[in-house]
Amino acid sequence: MIELILSSAPLIARGLLITLLVSACVLLLGSVIGVGGGLGLLYGGRPLRLVVRFYVDTLRGIPQLVLIFAIFYGFPAIGLQVSAMIAGILALSLFCGAHVAEIVRGAVASIPRGQTDAALGLGLSFRQRLRHVIFPQAVVRILPAWVNTAVEIIKSSSLVSLVSVVDLTMAVQQVVGRTREALLFYAVAAALYFLLNFTLSMAGRRLERRFSHA
Partner 1 sequence: MYQFNWRPVFDNFDLLLKGLVLGIGIALLSLAIGSIIGLAAAFCRVHGTRPLKFLAAAYVELVRNIPLLLIIYFVYFGLPLLGLSLFDNTWSFVLALSVYAGAYLAEVFRAGIEAVGKGQIEAARAIGLTRLQVARHVTIPLMFRVALPSLGNTFISLFKDTSVASAIAVPELTYGAIRINVNTWRVIEVYLVVGLMYLAACYAIAALLRQAERRYRVMH
* Residue 8: its H or E element: helix 2-43
* Host H or E run for residue 164: none
Shortest distance in whole angstroms from residue 194 CB to partner 1:
5
**Contacting range for partner 1; rule: CB under 8 A; set: 85-93, 97-105, 110-118, 167-175:** 167-175
> Which residues, 6 or more positions from 152, have their beta carbon under 8 angstroms from its beta carbon?
99
Least Cβ distance, residue 116 to partner 1 (angstroms)? 30
The nearest distance, CB 195 to partner 1, in angstroms, is 9
Residue 211 near partner 1 by CB under 8 A: no
Nearer to partner 1, 42 or 207 (CB): 207
* CB hemisphere CA count around 136 (13 angstroms): 8
Contact 206, 142 (CB under 8 A): no
For residue 140, count other CB atoms closer than 10 A to its CB.
Answer: 16
Binding-site member from 20, 44, 69, 145 for partner 1 (CB under 8 A) = 69
Yes or no: say if 57 and 92 are a contact pair by the CB < 8 Å rule.
no
Q: Please report, as ranges, the residues that interact with partner 1 according to CB under 8 A.
A: 58, 61-66, 69-70, 73-74, 77-79, 151, 155-159, 161-162, 169, 172-173, 176, 182-183, 186, 189-190, 193-194, 197-198, 201
